[in-house]
Amino acid sequence: MLLRDETLFLLLEGYGWLPALRRRSSGQVAQTRLMGRRAVGMCGPEAARFFYDEDHIRRHTAIPEPVLSTLLGHGAVHTLDGDHHRVRKAMFMSLLTGPGVASLVTHTSACWDEAVDAWTLERQVVLFDEAAKVLTRGVCRWAGIPLDESEVPALAAGLTATVDGFGSGGPRHWRARLARIRREAWLGDLVQQVRDGTATAATGSALDVVAGHRDADGKLLDPRLAAVELLNVIRPTVAVSWFVTFAAHALHRWPEHRAALLSGDPSFAEAFAHEVRRFYPFAPFVAGRAVRELSWAGESIPAGSLVLLDVYGQNHDPGLWDEPYTFDPQRFVGRQMGEYDLIPQGGGDPATGHRCPGEDITIALLQTLAVRLARLDYDVPQQDLTISLRRIPARPASGFVMAVPSPATTRQPASARRAGTGL
């Protein structure tokens, strides 16, 4: 079968590329080529279950070099399989689940409250940029990484750059590569200083745990590789700035949800966080490599081919979600989700598979900061709030500009001020 290479179409079509490719396919598996490789695309809970079975799909050698050099880092846990993956993943699970979640939320909430006081002194602020700074401060305090306040803006910009450039070419991509190189060098030196005793790390902090981690071979991680994994603790936390900005976008477009968040109902706040993660685009798909000749849904998957799980398509599948293009947090209130249903950060068991170990932190931070957003009095001036599905990762074009009035200023009600601020 002669298959067209779809790489250019992926770059042009973004999140819509794989869903469109699947619609044009005669079966449940879309056959194609991507970056010169044979590839297949699939979607749905059963496809996700198949994809996350290591007897079928492995990550080793499957992740493209541009993604490794920007988002993940070479040698990262995402590239491992088997015992090597499980041992490295256990390190992340020890940090990013359990008590660590509440601790990080506490640090970040304090940083948010500090930042809001400063926002009242500005005429306008860009929420995306400010949220990145808040999250950078919070995660570095939590992780035990020494950081002077003057260093926060540059570090926040560098960490968001590593995320912002993974799905693009051109300047965004090269900024991401440069940012990763700089931050790996910085953290590699810090890890070495902790090991040498010239710097200290609080016991149990991320810096302490990563610096002292021994891999499946019983050896300490090379300082550069330790830096990669330390970045893979703090970088995804800062990436929550995308979801915080999407949460503000949702509250602006559908203000009827503000009252439920203001009520303090934790079940609705969690449901709101889930709906933000489902409704808004982040990862278009995840990729692995077929370990042998496989078959799924009656179709052949050649050995060694790329297997693409359509994340965006599944999160907007009308067979799974009623009115999937309607923003409705109530769909998650009281709902018990399977491990392979909602997959914005992967599917399966995060303890043993490739589901993101930071998912609990993402949800906890998002639901906490969404409530704080709902309680915040701010204007939304006229701006471009469109979200292009051709841009990976997507975000509101303006970054969500807002003006936070001083508490001493007498103003008309917020609901009246927001009226007429179109998208």
Residue 196 has pLDDT above 70, yes or no: yes
What is the 3-class SS of 20-75, one letter each residue?
A: HHHHHCCCCCEEEEECCEEEEEECCHHHHHHHCCCCCEECCCCCCHHHHHHHHCCC
pLDDT in tens, 286-311: 999 999 999 999 889 999 999 999 99
Question: For position 151, what pLDDT does the model report?
Answer: 97
Is the pLDDT at 271 greater than 80? The verdict is yes
Spatial separation of the C-alpha atoms in residues 207 and 193, rounded to whole Å: 11
Cα gap 104→176, rounded to integer Å: 25
Alpha-helix runs per DSSP H in 281-382: 311-315, 359-375
Amino acid 415: pLDDT? 42
Residue 412 scores a pLDDT above 50? no
**Residue pointed to by tokens 């989700």:** 337
Instruction: Give pLDDT, residue 326.
Output: 97
Distance of CA 299 to the CA centre of its chain: 32
Mean pLDDT of 61-86: 88
Amino acid 335: pLDDT: 87
Q: What's the rounded mean pLDDT across residues 247-274?
A: 95
Residue 343 has pLDDT above 50, yes or no: yes
Whether residue 352 is predicted with pLDDT greater than 70 in this model: the reply is: no
Question: What integer is the mean pLDDT of 400-411?
Answer: 76
The answer to whether the beta carbons of residues 126 and 157 sit under 8 Å apart is no
117 against 416, higher pLDDT? 117
Q: How far apart are CA 264 and CA 258, in angstroms?
A: 11
Side-chain-side CA neighbours of residue 372 (13 Å): 23
Question: Above 90 in pLDDT, residue 125?
Answer: yes
Binning pLDDT at 50, 70 and 90, where does residue 264 land?
confident
Q: How far apart are CA 372 and CA 258, in angstroms?
A: 11
Average pLDDT over residues 190-206: 96
Q: Is pLDDT larger for residue 62 or for residue 44?
A: 44
DSSP letters for 172-228: HHHHHHHHHHHHHHHHHHHHHHHHHTSS---TTSHHHHHHH-B-TTSPBPPHHHHHH
The pLDDT > 90 percentage for the chain reads 75
Question: Which residues neighbour 3 within 8 Å (Cβ) at sequence distance 6 or greater?
Answer: 31, 32, 33, 38
- Tell me how long the chain is: 423
Residue 387 has pLDDT above 60, yes or no: yes
pLDDT given at position 416: 39
Average pLDDT over residues 106-122: 94
**Residue 413 scores a pLDDT above 50:** no
Q: What topology does CATH give the domain 7-418? A: Cytochrome p450 (1.10.630)
Lowest mean pLDDT among 101-115, 299-313, 339-353: 339-353
Residue 60 has pLDDT above 80, yes or no: no
Q: What is the mean pLDDT of the chain?
A: 91
pLDDT at 36: 87
Q: 351 pLDDT exceeds 80?
A: no
Q: Place 198 in a pLDDT band, splitting at 50, 70 and 90.
A: very high
